[in-house]
Amino acid sequence: MSKFLLLLGVSGVGKSSIIEELTKLDSRFVYISPYMTRPLRDGEKNKIPITNEQMDEMWKKNELLAINELYGIRYATPRLPIIQALNEKNFPVLDWPISKIRTMRQAFPNQLYVVYIVPPSIEVLQQRLKDGRDKDGSRLINAKEELSAYWASQYKGCYDFEIVSEVDQIIKVAQAIYKKYIA
């Protein structure tokens, strides 16, 4: 039975890059493209921009598993692509906020493999967030809060595997996740 791979971790830890590497390692990985209520950023290609009204309509039709609001943007997770990927024995993969892990555990009991990705340091994370995503500093503030909770072991039991996203080591990180996931 294939499992739904969830990558958890703070903004800027490299989840999107790791997902990209995983899809290169094994064609069975299927990225579950979220819907969002903002335009695509330059170079962004794996998300689907829609209006708030479209998202609300999809929610009413039960087409969405969850809607999360992050940094003033609404993100929605479609239900059907996950189910299709699992039925086809593929490996659905998605980055997900740890604060919403219960939603996924309820929707996919015994079908999740959850990885928590940690930055090597706050300083490295600060550098990574200087790419224009964190103009007001809120992502770094939220990241520090989440990492404090993580380091205080408040998330123990929420994930199956944890790994540090070392600088310039995305391929190695993806390979390590892949080995654990496939095992």
> Residue 2's pLDDT is what?
80
**Mean local confidence (pLDDT), 130-151:** 89
**Residue 75's Cα: distance from chain center in Å?**
11
**Mean local confidence (pLDDT), 57-64:** 96
**Mean local confidence (pLDDT), 90-118:** 94
Domain ranges of the chain: 4-182
Read off the amino acid at residue 176: A
pLDDT higher than threshold 80 for residue 158: yes
As a whole number, the mean pLDDT across the chain is 93
Number of H helices, E strands in the chain: 7, 9
What pTM, to 2 d.p., does this model score?
Answer: 0.91
Structure tokens at 91: 């490996």
- Summarised one tens digit per residue, pLDDT across range 72-97 is 899 999 999 999 999 999 999 999 99
Beta bridge partners of 70: 73
CATH of domain 4-182: 3.40.50.300
Separation between Cα atoms, residue 143 and residue 15, nearest integer Å = 14
Reported confidence tier of residue 1, pLDDT bands at 50, 70, 90: low
| Cα end-to-end distance, the chain, whole Å | 12
**Mean local confidence (pLDDT), 49-53:** 95
> Residue 46's pLDDT is what?
85
Report residue 75: phi and psi, to 5°: -120, 135
- Helix (H) or strand (E) segment spanning residue 109: none
> Residue 136's pLDDT is what?
87
User: The dihedral of CA 55, 49, 107, 27: what is its sign?
Assistant: positive
Quick one: what percent of the chain has pLDDT higher than 70? 99
Structure tokens at 102: 């219960």
- Helix (H) or strand (E) segment spanning residue 113: strand 112-118
